[in-house]
Amino acid sequence: MTATTTESVGTRPSPEANYRVLQRIILPAENQRDTVALYVDGGAATGPLKDTMNGKRSVQAPTVVRASEAVHAEDMVDRRSMTVRAGVRLSFGTYFNAFPASYWRRWTALESVRLSVTLEGVGAVIVHKSNARGALQRVESVRVSGAETVTFDLPLKPFGDGGWYWFDLVASSQPLKLIEASWQGLDHGRPLGEVTLEITTMNKPDFCVANITSLGQSPEALEHVKEVLIVDQGSQKVSDQAGFEEAAALLKGRLRIINQSNLGGSGGFSRGMYEAVQNGSDYVLLCDDDIVIEPESIERLLTFSSYCVRPTLVGAHMFDLYNRTALHTMGEVVNPWRFQPDKPVAEQVTGYDLAVTNLRSTSWMHRRIDADYNGWWMELIPTSVIKEIGLSLPVFIKWDDAEYGLRAKAAGYPTVSLPGAAVWHISWGDKDDLVGWQAYFHERNRVIAALLHSPYERGGRLIRESNYMDVKHLISMQYYTEAGRIMALNDILAGPDQLHAIQPERIKEIRALAADFTDAVFKPRVDEFPAPGSSKPPRRGQSFQQPSVAKLVPWALKTLVRQIGLPVSASKKDRPQAVVAHQDNKWWRMSQYDSAVVSNAEGTASSWYQRDPGVVRKNLVEATRLHARLLMEWPRLRTAYREALPRITSIPAWEATFAAHTDSELTR
C-alpha cells in the first residue's frame, strides 16, 4: 500500500526507482531500556512551552510531558519490532527515530525521503512534520488492517532552516504490531565505502572490551568496517582485560591493537587517522574510550556522509553516561571574539533531558544547528580530507577536535553534528578540567588554536580573558593550576616546532609539579585534614556574595591588596577555616579565605587551599608579563604557527613521532 501526500506530488520518484535505507527505526537494547524515551514516546506533544510566571519560554518543564508512560519493556520484541497495545498511541517523533529532514536538505542532494512502515494488526499510521520554529503539522494518515507495508513519499524542500519528519502509530481495539520501519532515499549508486573504527584509550580496558563486544553483537554496524583499531596508551592493557579474547573473537579477525606511549588524545586520534590512510579506508571513525556506543550510529554517519555533496566530517551527539536521556548539545561552535566554545543558538540548553520534555515539545531542537566542530567522542572523517589538511595538531589533549574542525572548515569541508547518531559519555558537569593539571593544555591549546584561526588582529578578547583567569585562580589559592598556565604561556612563546618533541613529556612534568602544591595533594577523607578552626563570622550574618558589575573594580582592588599585602596568621596555616564543597568553589568566595579544604568535582577527594602572598605576587607579575609579551608578539607568532601548521600536522611528521613511541602491535 502506498500513501502519497498532496504536497509530495511532483517530487514522487518513479515506482521502479531503487531505494537505500537512510535510517532504520530502532528500539533500545535490552540492557539500555532506561533510554526508551530516546526511541519511542507515549507522551503528548505540547508545542512551545511557556513560563506562566513571566511569559518567557521555559528551558525545561518537568510537569508537562510524561515521555514514556505508555511504553512497556515487554512490548519490545527486538531492536526493530514492538507491539502497540490496544487503544494506545505511540510516537516515533524521538531523538533516534524522527528523521532530521533539515540536515538532509542542507547537506545532501536528496529532494525527498520515503517512509516505509510494515505492520500487522488494525490501526493507523500518522505522519507529522515540524518547521524550524518547532511548529508541528500533521501531514497524512493511513489506516491499516492485517499485514501491510505502507509508504509515504515526502519532500525535503520545506526544511531549509530546520524541521523533522516522524510518525505515530495508533492501535484500535486490538494490538498493532510494528514489524519494521525505515526512512529511505533514492540510491545514489555509489558504495558507502570502508571505515576504520579507531578507539583511543588510556587505562579504560573495561569500556573498550564492552564496546567491542557490543559491536561484535551488531553485525549490521560492522558491515562497512574494515578494521577496529584500538590505540592503547595506558598501563592497564585492553588485551589483559577479562573477557577480551571472547570479545575479540566476535570481530572475526578485524581487531588490531597498537600499544604506544601516552601521546594524549591528539596522538591517539592522529594514529587512527594515519592508519586509516595507510590501510586504504575511505573514512576513519574516531571514538573515545569511555563511551557506550549506539551501534546504529555507525551506519547512520556513514550513510549520511556518502550522500553529502562534498566531503564532510560527520559527528555524533553525546548523551550523559550517568543520566542517559540528557543530551549534552546539538552542536559545537567557537565564539571568534572570545575564542571559546559557545552556544550556536541562545535557546539551546546543555544537559537537556528528553525523558522530561520530549523532542516534539522542544522548539529549539527543531532548528538546524550548523557546527564548527564535533567532539571526538565519535566523529567520521573522510581520509581524502586527512590527506589534504593533515592530522591533528600535536597538542596532547584539549582543542584538538575544535582546531581540526576549524581547519577543515577553512579548507571547504564542513562539519555536521548529525541528530540520531549518538554515544553516551561522562558529562562535563562531572569534571572540572579548568583546574588542575589539565589547565596547562586548556590555556596553551586555546591560544594556539586562536593564533591559527582567529579572524581578529590580536585574538579578540582572548588575551584579556586569559589574564583575568590568572587573577581568579590566584585569588582562589589555586597555585598548582596557575603554575601550569604560566608553563603554557612560555611554551606558546617558544613556538610551534617543539610541539612534537614535548608531546609525551609535558604531562609528566606537570603531574610531577603537584607534590609542591597543597591544593593539588588530595586525600580521600576530609577527616585526614586538621579540623576547621574558628573564624570570624560573616559580616551581618550574610554569606559571601559575588560582587556586582558596578562594585567589581573596587572589590577586586581591595581583594588584591589583601591577597598580596596581608600575612596569613599562624592559626590559619595550621588549621583550615572551612570545608568547602566543590560547587561552592567560586573565585569570589575562595578569595575571602586564608585556608580551606575543598572537594574535587568527582566528590572522591579533597585538598587544602592555603593562601601565600608571596606566591600571589610572584605569579601575578609573571602572568601579566607573559600576557603583555603575547599581545606584543601576536603577529609574529601567528605567522610562525600558520606557516608551521602543514608541516607539524603532516603524515611524515606524525610518522616520525609514532616510530619513536610505538611499543607493539596485536591482531585478533
Rounded CA separation 536/555 (Å): 19
Rounded CA separation 328/35 (Å): 15
Rounded CA separation 133/162 (Å): 8
Rounded CA separation 558/134 (Å): 50
Q: Tell me if 157 sits within 8 A of 111, measured CB to CB.
A: yes
C-alpha cell belonging to residue 588: 569570589
Q: Tell me if 215 sits within 8 A of 222, measured CB to CB.
A: yes
**How much helix, strand and coil, in percent to the nearest 5, is found in the chain?**
35, 25, 40
Measuring CA to CA, how many Å separate 42 from each of 30, 37, 205, 351? 19, 8, 38, 22
C-alpha cell belonging to residue 411: 579548507
Rounded CA separation 498/613 (Å): 34
Interhelix angle 400-410/439-453, nearest 10 degrees: 10
Q: Measured in whole angstroms, how far is the alpha carbon of residue 452 from the centre of its chain?
A: 22
User: Quick one: which H or E segment has residue 118?
Assistant: strand 112-130
DSSP string, 282-335: SEEEEE-SSEEE-THHHHHHHHHHHHBSS--EEEEEEEETTEEEEE--S-BEEE
DSSP single-letter state for residue 539: G
Q: Active-site residue numbers?
A: 401
Rounded CA separation 171/143 (Å): 10
C-alpha cell belonging to residue 632: 606584543
C-alpha cell belonging to residue 566: 596581608
Rounded CA separation 533/202 (Å): 41
At 255, is the secondary structure helix, strand, or coil?
strand
Rg (CA), the chain: 27
- 381-402 in b/e form (b: 16+ CB < 10 A) is bbbebbeebbbbbbbbbbbbbb
DSSP string, 564-590: HHSPPPHHHHHS-SEEE-GGG--HHHH
Rounded CA separation 180/479 (Å): 59
Rounded CA separation 139/197 (Å): 39
